[in-house]
Amino acid sequence: MPEIDDIRPVTWHDGAVRIIDQTALPAELTYLDLTRVDALIAAIQRLAVRGAPALGVAGAYGVALAVLTGETDRIPALRAARPTAVNLAVGADRVAARLAEGFEAVLAEAHAVLTEDLTANRTLSVLGADWLLTRIDRRPLRLLTHCNAGALATGGWGTALGVVRELHARGLVEVVYVDETRPLLQGTRLTAWELARLGIPHRIQADGAAASTIVSAHVDAAVVGADRIAANGDTANKIGTLGVALACAHARIPFMVAAPTSTIDPATPTGAAIHVEQRAESELLTPAAPDTSRAHNPAFDVTPAQLVSALTTERGLLEPAHGDLPAQLWTP
């Protein structure tokens, strides 16, 4: 079993893209070595590998795999395997820009995508933790998170859970409320698994409990990740995030987004232009619904920038709710 800091959901291993099969967690920590691009695309679509920055690493190594196996014609399908997390296309495009230089250059670029994400997560975690401590008087903190934005969702370490880990390392976390994250239970299966390994106290709650927990003053701040951040700061994240943000606004507590700048998409002006992935109805209908029922199953929602108290990135911390827009993050 790897050391706690060695959770690496996507790596390159001996001519294969090696992923942790996140569908097997928490029962088993198993790795899959994917040797064809279409196998990687299938793994992405069934969420064996998921989370925006981890998808960026998968896109990057997927291009390296495509070069090795002579499947470069599958790169467009790879970069489009899931539409909302911008990191997937960003990672694939960044590495594909070096195709003409050959396999070694392509693989080196993919390694850089991974190592830069690891570094970014550490930096944005410290910045996010520092900011929360300036806004919250209570010690230790009671936090809430939605979905999984931990090591499993990134190159390693985590974004939202990175902030939690940083605060925990300072002895400042009382409890983390973990939204279960229907319908695929990334909170229950993945976030709780990570927190348990780290020895961080947590309580899993139904998604529908989040607003009540926040409004009844049991939470000091919510911290979530992001799949795509529009140029105006509107933020797409797992379905249910918007409700958390609204409850935080009502309770006047911080709602923090933790994300590397690779998740900011300057080509998307506002949240209205973000393509929200619609997933199979069966994810909601099985096993309890009547045979004739239909389902509405968006995988993500968009939180307006006005509700984002803080956006912590590796290049600095912004306050979108106060008109502090992320444009400065990509301005050279």
Kindly state whether residue 225 participates in binding ligand MRU, applying the rule CB under 6 A.
yes
Kindly state whether residue 159 participates in binding ligand MRU, applying the rule CB under 6 A.
yes
Min separation Cβ 311 and ligand MRU, Å? 13
Kindly state whether residue 227 participates in binding ligand MRU, applying the rule CB under 6 A.
yes
Cis amide prior to 260 (ω within 30 degrees): no
Candidates 207, 227, 265, 301; catalytic one:
227
Residue 35 sits at φ, ψ, to 5 deg, of -115, 5
Judged by beta carbon, residue 129 or residue 149, the one nearer ligand MRU is 149
The Cα–Cα gap between 330 and 332 comes to 6
The Cα–Cα gap between 117 and 9 comes to 12
The Cα–Cα gap between 274 and 268 comes to 7
The Cα–Cα gap between 32 and 38 comes to 14
Residue of this chain nearest to ligand MRU (CB atom):
225
Min separation Cβ 128 and ligand MRU, Å? 12
The Cα–Cα gap between 94 and 106 comes to 9
> 310 has which bridge partners?
256
Min separation Cβ 73 and ligand MRU, Å? 26
CB atoms under 10 Å from CB of 83, counted, come to 18
Q: What's the Cα-to-Cα distance from 10 to each of 190, 264, 268, rounded to whole Å?
A: 15, 21, 27
Kindly state whether residue 226 participates in binding ligand MRU, applying the rule CB under 6 A.
yes
Q: Quick one: how many helices (H) and strands (E) in the chain?
A: 12, 14
Region binding ligand MRU by CB under 6 A among candidate stretches 31-39, 49-57, 204-212, 317-325: 49-57
Answer yes or no: 5 catalytic: no
Region binding ligand MRU by CB under 6 A among candidate stretches 112-120, 152-160, 268-276, 287-295: 152-160
Kindly state whether residue 245 participates in binding ligand MRU, applying the rule CB under 6 A.
no
Region binding ligand MRU by CB under 6 A among candidate stretches 65-73, 153-161, 196-204, 322-330: 153-161
Residue (of 114, 68, 62, 59) closest to 89 by Cα position: 59
* Count of residues engaged in binding ligand MRU, rule: CB under 6 A: 18
- The footprint of ligand MRU (CB under 6 A) covers 47, 50-53, 85, 147, 149, 153-154, 159, 186, 225-227, 237-238, 299
Catalytic residues: 227
